Amino acid sequence: MKEKKLTRSELKRAAVIHAAMQEFQLKGFKTASMDDIAKRAEVSKRTVYNHFSSKEILFNAILSEMITILGTFEPVPFSVDIPAEVQLKKLAAHEISMLRKDGFITAAKVIIAEGIHSPELIKDAMDSFSKQETPLASWFKAAAAAGVLKTEQPDIVATQFTAVIKAFCFWPQVIQDAQFPDDTYIALVSDTAVQMILKQYIAAA
């Protein structure tokens, strides 16, 4: 399917958001200015304010993009007819694909930093997101309901699954500016996460 071509206005809006993420990461939310964001985005200050009437609204736009990415990757519906290992591998691939999306790590750095220094900035967004069930969480919940996943706490198992992946494909990049692993290492990480779930929680056929 051919992707929709962005309008000039949409391209400028995206450039402003990208520039804001860089400025917030470099200087922090409170210190970064709309002037500097405009300069980095190579647009006028008026253009910035046409899209975002305040720095807070601009920050919320970054939060919204992050939450959209977290909640809308292609779902993997649980099926009793497909081997759990196959489904788990697909879930791992989707999770890693989300983590390596352009701008995801940069946005995460900004949000985590401001969540520590100015928690009020992200409280409403995080409260809203916590009430949403992600596609990955839905799979673990359905697998448990079907008796395939041997646990009464599928949310904890889902967190364990993603924790293995993020230990190599998220936290080193956020905290240490590490490069994202290559495909060979990603395959190893994915297999480790999958095998952990299979050995600990999947009922024998």
The tens digit of pLDDT for each residue in 100-111 reads 987 788 888 888
Cα separation, 55 vs 32, in Å, equals 9
* β-strand partners of 202: 149
List where CATH 1.10.357.10 sits in the chain: 63-201
CB 187 within 8 A of CB 162: no
Q: Is the pLDDT of residue 193 over 90?
A: yes
Cβ neighbours of 2 (radius 10 Å): 4
What's the mean pLDDT when you consider all of the chain? 87
Dihedral, CA of residue 11, residue 16, residue 17 and residue 18, to nearest 10: 90
The tens digit of pLDDT for each residue in 132-174 reads 667 889 999 999 999 999 999 999 999 999 999 999 999 999 9
The tens digit of pLDDT for each residue in 46-80 reads 999 999 999 989 988 888 877 777 666 667 899 99
Query: What is the identity of the amino acid at 22?
Result: Q
149 phi and psi, to 5 degrees? -95, 115
- CATH number, domain 1-53, options 3.10.180.10, 1.10.510.10, 1.10.10.60, 3.40.120.10: 1.10.10.60
Give the global pTM: 0.78
Q: What pLDDT does 76 receive?
A: 84
| CATH number of the structural domain 63-201 | 1.10.357.10
